[in-house]
Amino acid sequence: MTQLSSSNKLSLIIPVHNERDNLKELLVEVENALNNISNDFEIIFVDDGSTDGSFQLLIDLCKDKSSFKLISFRRNFGQTAAMSAGITYSTGDIIVFMDADLQNDPADIPALISKLNEGYDVVSGWRKNRKDKLLFKKIPSAIANFIIRKISKVNIHDLGCSLKAYRREILNEIYIYGEMHRFLPVIAARVGAKITEIPVNHKPRKYGKSHYGLNRTFKVLLDLITVQFMRSFSTKPIYLYGGFALISLLLGFISGLSVILMKIFWGTDMTGNPMLLLTVLFILITVILALMGIQSEVLIRIYHQQGRTKQYYIKEVYNVEIEDIKD
Ligand code: UDP
Ligand code: MG
């Protein structure tokens, strides 16, 4: 039996979107797993605007269970928002996330906690034997994970696996929005977290269907640019801006020079040389788009951090004090 130290309360956070057929089995599984670890735990289901009656079923199933907390959103705000609400309303010192679709195995939680107790701040689950579609999930995800590993230098293999354990103090330092939950370990590393991973079980989805397809991989790679920019350049954007400026200057110089050389050696008409126009056009477009993209990411971040936007709206809660509502 894995012991939590006496001061350590565990919060298990589970985002739920249209998972009705999975919930009954899930509740039994998580309760069994957590009862083996500690008696100081809470399980928070965040219903992310389900339309299949998941929340109603959760209320029925969790009646009279004081360690279960339920939050329901007014509409579907996304998995990141659901995880974020879970963090806000949880009270544990250790936070574990898990999917509601029975693909993760809560029996892995003790091992995650033991590893955390070895002195880590984040322990990431690694679905070594992943039970998803090879072509549409496993291969694109392996490629994305490889690229992210190389670029972020955070050496874990399975960012997409929800089953991960975090120390609360690390999550308190982090603000996630958009679809950034997959980058939590990368962002945690930036905060200074000590991170490791352990293999975890994975089961095929029996009921309901996956919310994410192949296009997710491309979005993840786009998010990587933002995350990486924030990591490397947020305090020194001039390195990046200056880098682009130098490259464009160099390209402009080379193209300009070649137009002149073509004129001298071959007598090519300078203004009539399409290379002149093309080079100027491409350089302008690249530089402007890249810089605008980055600037808007910076602006979005400031916007979010000032707390002007709500990521989600809560409709109903169960076992969460209403005056606690901090959305
Ligand atoms: N989920 C959510 N809101 C969404 C999409 C997904 O709360 O908008 C939940 C979903 O119910 C599940 C978890 O996030 O518990 C992961 O989703 P899914 O299993 O579909 O992702 P996959 O495992 O296929 O990547
Ligand atoms: Mg799943």
Same domain, 258 and 155: no
| Pairing label, strands 68-73, 41-47 | parallel
Quick check: CB of 140 below 6 Å from ligand 1? no
C-alpha 22/C-alpha 102 separation (Å) is 6
For residue 158, being part of any structural domain is answered with yes
Same domain, 220 and 275: no
Residue 209 CA, ligand 1 centroid: distance in Å: 9
Q: If DSSP codes are grouped into helix, strand and coil, which group holds residue 68?
A: strand
Residue range 181-193, pLDDT digits in tens: 999 999 999 999 9
For residue 132, being part of any structural domain is answered with yes
> What pTM was estimated for this model as a whole?
0.86
Query: Ligand 1, atom 13: nearest CA belongs to which residue?
Result: 99
Long-range CB pairs of 279-288, under 8 A, 24+ apart, other chains included:
279/251, 279/252, 279/255, 280/252, 280/255, 283/248, 283/251, 283/252, 286/248, 287/244, 287/245, 287/248
Same domain, 244 and 103: no
- Please give the share of the chain, as a percent, with pLDDT higher than 70: 90
Same domain, 265 and 130: no
Q: Which atom of ligand 1 is nearest to the CA of 18?
A: 11
Same domain, 169 and 230: yes
Residue range 159-174, pLDDT digits in tens: 999 999 999 999 999 9
Same domain, 129 and 274: no
What CATH number does residue 139 fall under? 3.90.550.10
Per-residue tokens: 265: 């050696």
Q: Of the candidates 234, 264, 290, which is a domain's last residue?
A: 234
Same domain, 208 and 251: no
C-alpha 134/C-alpha 125 separation (Å) is 19
C-alpha 58/C-alpha 176 separation (Å) is 26
Supply the range of the domain harboring residue 260. 238-305
Question: Closest ligand to 54 CA?
Answer: 1
Residue 309 CA, ligand 1 centroid: distance in Å: 23
Total domains in the chain come to 2
- Please give the share of the chain, as a percent, with pLDDT higher than 90: 64
Residue range 224-274, pLDDT digits in tens: 988 887 777 666 666 766 677 778 778 888 888 888 899 999 998 988 888
Give pLDDT, residue 106.
Answer: 96
- Terminal CA-CA length for the chain: 37
Residue 126 CA, ligand 2 centroid: distance in Å: 14
Same domain, 250 and 168: no
Query: Ligand 1, atom 5: nearest CA belongs to which residue?
Result: 79
Same domain, 137 and 283: no
Same domain, 72 and 217: yes
For residue 195, being part of any structural domain is answered with yes
For residue 59, being part of any structural domain is answered with yes
